[in-house]
A and B are shown apart, each in its own frame.
Chain A
């Protein structure tokens, strides 16, 4: 097994609520090797999104450790975690999260520009061509269909060539056919770039495409990690 690029050790997440402390994650431990793809499944409210946020360094656990690309996120401040995200992480969201005032091209350019890449425009339009949207560069999100919007989001995620891509229900807002197309695209780029993929999904067929799968039930891993398909 190659070196773990994402690792969670005994991660707990408690939040204060009106009824007292609510425990969302209990002692979750998992590890994802470089180039692997992991599906996190589970019913609504089981803590999937919380776990994803913690693994990606968007949030901090109440206790436990998270290591991402060799950086101990739990020992860093927000600025440090932002730097790790900038260098190693990409996201694809259920609701696409494209900025409505920016064209498709500009949406893809944004992370590149934030990293100070000099060839942002060229690179962004290359990636949009890779997802089949070279004709749509100057369209605004509201002029694009849901599937097209998610393809823009995928182009944006891969454009900064992250080591780890986190996807939160990437097909949740799409019909089956479009969803399938987006899934194909996601795994294709994942393979090409050797990106590590961590995704949350309800969809069985998406989970099945991942090399590994874990299920969260009421904030705990329901069963030990199981190899679902042989590693590539």
Chain B
């Protein structure tokens, strides 16, 4: 096969090596990122589904239908059942209204139940490898003091006696606040004997399903959705953990963005390599045509070579990419002790074809004119060859970028904003580059000979210099963008969960214990929020009329009073107590602004609450904004001090308890068994570990992309090296010292790099603004360090690369250089 032989000869002579390396790296970077991102994505979804205990939960007041089970079984989808309810548990004379979960074999489908053998233990909890055996229950640590029992004692649940065998530390599917009673985990087989489930009792039946095959699951979900009634609710990570889902989504977008940037960089490198290849092959094509090869034959021969090259390079790239992603994954695994999910086959297929797509769109346009080289060129070397117009190449490259971005991200918004930004930047950087290059001449008139020579060179080949500069700028812009996005993403995530955010809520503190609890916590040096009084009340009337229940807020709300406004609260309308005076003589209330909008409240609106059947009328004094993510106790309604004096309140606070202070909870609960402690630390830990995983992945992907950037710089430098070698050879032949030759090349590339860095920073700021505003939904800010770093790094990297690539010309005799450079 002639094409194969020609390819081999071209390879041997080094003419396709750059193209091959660019392709291999393109596929390696792309597949490395795509496969890794796919694994990370699957893992993260599974991890976060560990929050739920399943991929999907269907819950309702009736058990799920038998037909659903059969369908799931047919489709190979895992399933199990949970029945959740509140019920009194007894031991001797003590009783407590517990939150009970009866679970079937297989629970949880995702994540683990964590238990220990001691309440509020400092030891890390142990993952349970089964559900509680029949006859046993695992219970919340606080149930022990509440019922005055030890682990191993029996408790009664309804009509059935069960033995407490373990402390239940954490189980999937907890929302933290919803459960008010102590948790009890029991075997579903024991449920009937308790006789708790009676007609009319409030039971939440949950059907948990999961599958490793996300396509299968999605199809099943669709099937299921059509069969759900109004009483069935379907939940997944998106609906139950919005914030976490958002983090994951942003992380995923970043990875996609990185993959896209990887493709772009590799594409640019491929395009450059192809241009160089084409320029070197004009003579060869002319010769072959003079020897009688027609345009069709030439096209066939070159297409054959490219196809073979692309296939081989894609395979090598895929192997490399697999190596990269395995390396990255294993370092991640050892670091975080998580098992990454197996990659999906489509990630490999996509990566493989991305090589072909890259070649088709980035390389082919540069080569398109080759079959049209006139055979007469062999006789008349000065004959101009209609090279593919640069603008056609750029348009095709943009089309390729659009295709690839859409393919990888499956998000039109991302594709469009990358495209728009790139086009704008292309135009802008060309303009700015033109002006800067022009300006640099004036600056260099007083400079040394090295700089003058360099600037003269840049001026003389202004077209080529501009193209190179645009390419350097794009590479620098993309890398800076990625770095910035990564940094602000990680910061943004970290800020969602500050290090010392309160991780325990203490609820149900009796008024007579307030001072004692306060001083206990303070003595132990616990970082805590103030204690807020809390009264349960229901909003019944607005401006004297019974309110429209369809607007929400139908449950009993936690009402409080205070004279100091919380740090994260801000008055948006009306005034705080010190500046407020009632118009109606009623006591005042401050309402959270979101709720006020939902219910149609404004300053001056009269509200009537029912507190345990007793009415109280108040007037809206102010509307407040507040930060629900602060993990401080926050309230929809804050009353004027004194307004609720007639009602008995309990108190609530939140505190930060590091692990070594956890035993304090035991002490506290022993002294005040009525206090309800909600431990959020383990939930936080898990969220933080997920955020860390995403951040780490993001970091590693950034390094991979940097590799692509380096390749682009290298390709751009080498693509112009032939001409420069010839000139350098001439200078050497004319007796110029080595220092001048290398120095001027270094200076030339440094100037290019510096200008490219400057243009790149401007481009990066624009692209970042676009991305942050339109795609990633993170705050927009300027990056002053980039303005210093960009140009300097550009000058150093590009200058060094240029000098290294050309160093051969000063060590080789000029005659050889001139002969080789042709």
The residues of A with any CB-CB pair to B shorter than 8 Å are 49, 52-53, 56, 58-59, 78-79, 82-87, 89, 91, 93, 95, 97, 99-102, 106, 110-111, 113-115, 142, 160, 168
In the complex, identify which listed stretch (B372-380, B554-562, B637-645) lies at the interface while the others stay far away.
B372-380
Given that A59-B376, A82-B375, A93-B378 are contacting pairs, would A99 and B293 also be in contact in the complex, using a CB cutoff of 8 Å? no
Known contacts A78-B295, A101-B15, A113-B5; decide if A58 and B290 are in contact (CB<8 Å).
yes
Top 4 closest pairs, chain A to chain B, by CB: A86-B292, A101-B13, A82-B294, A85-B292
Contact with A along B594-613 (1 / 0, CB 8 A): 00000000000000000000
Binds A, one of B281-289, B318-326, B624-632, B681-689: B281-289
Write the chain A residue with the least CB distance to B296: A79
Contact A53 B292 (CB under 8 A): no
- Chain B residues near A53 (CB, 8 Å)? 376, 379-380
Q: If A58-B379, A91-B378, A97-B283 touch, does A110 touch B288 (CB 8 Å cutoff)?
A: yes
Decide yes or no: A101 and B10 within 8 Å by CB, A53-B379, A58-B379, A114-B2 being known contacts.
yes
Cβ-defined contact, B379 with A87, below 8 A: no
B294 touching A97 by the CB < 8 A rule? no
Contacts of B289 in A (CB 8 A): 82
> B801 CB to closest chain A CB, in angstroms?
25
Q: Are B287 and A85 in contact (CB under 8 A)?
A: no
In contact, A58 and B376 (Cβ under 8 angstroms): yes
- CB-nearest residue of chain B relative to A157? B291
Distance between A19 CB and nearest chain B CB, rounded to angstroms:
18
- By the criterion CB–CB under 8 Å, are B291 and A102 in contact? no
Most B C-beta atoms less than 10 A away, residue of A95, A101, A160: A101
B12 beta carbon closer than 8 Å to chain A: yes
A111 CA to B290 CA in the complex, in Å? Answer: 10
Docked CA distance A85–B288 (Å): 11
Residue B781 at the chain A interface, CB threshold 8 Å: no
B820 to chain A, nearest CB (A): 7
Q: Which residues of B have CB within 8 Å of A115?
A: 292
Nearest chain-B residue to A112 (Cβ)? B291
Instruction: Give the CA-CA distance A106 to B290 in the complex, in Å.
Output: 17
Tally inter-chain residue pairs, CB-CB below 8 A: 81
23 contacts between A and B (CB under 8 A): A53-B379, A58-B290, A58-B374, A58-B375, A58-B379, A59-B374, A78-B294, A78-B295, A85-B292, A86-B291, A86-B293, A91-B378, A93-B378, A101-B15, A106-B9, A110-B287, A110-B288, A111-B291, A111-B292, A114-B2, A114-B293, A114-B297, A142-B820
Contacts of A100 in B (CB 8 A): 13, 822
Assembled-state Cα–Cα distance A226/B362 (Å)? 57
Query: Contact check: which of B2, B12, B292 meets A83 at CB < 8 Å?
Result: B292
Separation of A78 and B2 alpha carbons in the complex (Å): 22
A residues within 8 A CB of B379? 49, 52-53, 58, 93, 168
CA distance A163 to B307 in the complex (A): 36
If A93-B378, A97-B378, A113-B2 touch, does A142 touch B819 (CB 8 Å cutoff)? yes
Contact status of A87 and B292, CB under 8 A, knowing A93-B379, A97-B283, A142-B819: yes
Report chain A residues within 8 Å CB of B295: 78-79, 82
B12 touches A101 (CB 8 A): yes
Given known pairs A58-B378, A58-B379, the reply for A114 and B291 (CB within 8 Å) is yes
Residues of B within 8 A of A83 (CB): 292, 294
Q: Tell me which residues across on chain B come within 8 A of A160, comparing CB atoms.
A: 291
The residue in chain B whose Cβ has the minimal distance to the Cβ of A56 is B290
* A89 contacts across to B, CB distance below 8 A: 292
Give the number of residues in B that approach A within 8 Å (Cβ atoms).
31
Interface of B is mostly: helix
Residues of chain B within 8 A (CB-CB) of A87 are: 292
What's the nearest-Cβ distance from chain A to residue B620, in Å? 85
Beyond A85-B291, A89-B292, A114-B288, 14 extra complex contacts between A and B, CB < 8 Å: A53-B376, A53-B380, A58-B374, A79-B296, A82-B294, A82-B295, A84-B292, A86-B291, A86-B292, A86-B293, A91-B378, A102-B9, A142-B819, A168-B379
Q: How far is the CB of A117 from chain B (nearest CB, A)?
A: 11
Q: Which residues of A contact B296 (CB under 8 A)?
A: 79
Task: Please report the C-alpha to C-alpha distance between residue A165 and residue B14 in the assembled complex, in whole angstroms.
Answer: 32
Contacts of B288 in A (CB 8 A): 110, 114
Hey, which chain B residues are within 8 Å of A93, CB to CB?
378-379
Task: Give chain B residues whose Cβ lies under 8 Å from the Cβ of A142.
Answer: 819-820
Bound: A10/B13 CA distance, A:
45
Provide the residues of chain A in CB contact with B10, threshold 8 Å: 101
Q: Closest residue to B289 on the A side, CB-wise?
A: A82
- CA gap between A58 and B374 in the complex, in Å: 8
B780 to chain A, nearest CB (A): 52
Chain A residues, CB < 8 A from B15: 101
Q: Is the CB of B287 within 8 A of A99?
A: yes
A111 to B292 alpha-carbon distance, docked (Å): 8
B2 near A85 (CB under 8 angstroms)? no
A46 to B412, CA, bound (A): 62
Cβ of B445 to closest chain A Cβ, rounded Å: 34
Residue of B nearest to A86 (CB): B292
Q: Chain A residues near B291: list those with CB within 8 A.
A: 85-86, 91, 110-111, 114, 160
A161, B777: Cα distance in complex, Å = 72
**Which of A85, A95, A99 makes the CB contact (< 8 A) with B290?**
A85
- Minimum CB–CB distance from A111 to chain B (whole Å) comes to 4
Residue of A nearest to B288 (CB): A114
Complex: chain A residue closest to B816, CB-CB: A142
CB distance from A148 to the nearest CB of B (A): 15
Residues of chain B lying within 8 A (CB to CB) of residue A113: 2, 5
Q: Which of B778-821 contact A (CB under 8 A)?
A: 819-820
With A and B bound together, what is the CA distance between A101 and B10 in angstroms?
7
Across the interface, which residues of B come within 8 angstroms of A59, CB to CB?
374, 376
Bound Cα distance from A58 to B819, whole angstroms: 28
CB distance from B152 to the nearest CB of A (A): 84
Minimum C-beta distance from A99 to chain B (A): 6
Minimum Cβ distance to chain A for residue B817 (Å): 12
Name the residue of chain B whose CB is nearest to the CB of A100. Answer: B13
Within 8 A of A (CB), among B293-312: 293-297
Chain B residues near A56 (CB, 8 Å)? 290
| Cβ of A147 to closest chain B Cβ, rounded Å | 16
For B5, give the chain A residue with the smallest CB separation.
A113
A111 and B5 alpha carbons, distance in the complex (Å): 13
Residue of B nearest to A142 (CB): B819
Q: Which residues of B contact A95 (CB under 8 A)?
A: 381
- C-alpha spacing A141/B678, complex, angstroms: 83
CB distance from A56 to the nearest CB of B (A): 8
Q: Shortest distance in angstroms between B779's beta carbon and chain A's nearest beta carbon?
A: 55
Complexed CA–CA distance, A106 and B2 (Å) = 12
**Closest residue on chain A to residue B12 by CB atoms:** A101
Chain B window 1-30, contacts with chain A (Cβ cutoff 8 Å), 1 for yes, 0 for no: 010010001101111000000000000000
**Chain B contacts with A in 373-393, Cβ cutoff 8 A:** 374-376, 378-381
Verify B287–A82 contact, CB threshold 8 A.
no
Within B326-384, the residues touching A (CB, 8 Å) are 374-376, 378-381
Looking at the assembled complex, report how far the CB atom of A108 sits from the nearest CB atom of chain B, in whole angstroms: 11
Q: Enumerate chain A residues within 8 angstroms of B376, measured Cβ to Cβ.
A: 53, 58-59
Report whether B290 and A91 are in contact in the complex, using a CB–CB cutoff of 8 Å.
Answer: yes
Please give, as numbers and ranges, the residues of chain B lying within 8 Å of A85 by CB-CB distance: 290-292, 375
Report the Cα distance A4→B289, complex, angstroms: 25
The docked-state distance in angstroms from the alpha carbon of A4 to that of B213 is 77
Contact in complex: A82, B292 (CB < 8 Å): yes
The closest CB in chain B to the CB of A59 belongs to B376
Tell me the minimal C-beta distance from B684 to chain A in angstroms. 63
Q: Report Cα–Cα, A49/B377, bound state, in Å.
A: 11
A-chain residues with CB within 8 Å of residue B297 when the two chains form the complex: 82, 114
Q: Which residues of A sit under 8 angstroms from B378, Cβ to Cβ?
A: 58, 91, 93, 97
Tell me the smallest distance from the CB of B309 to a CB of chain A, in Å. Answer: 15
Q: In whole angstroms, how far apart are the Cα atoms of A135 and B375 in the complex?
A: 32
With both chains docked as a complex, state the minimum distance between the C-beta of A216 and any C-beta of chain B, in angstroms. 15
**Which residues on A sit within 8 Å (CB–CB) of B5?**
113
Task: Please provide the chain B residues from 22 to 43 with a CB less than 8 Å away from any CB of chain A in the complex.
Answer: none
Tell me the bound Cα distance from A111 to B294 in angstroms. 13
CA distance A198 to B462 in the complex (A): 44
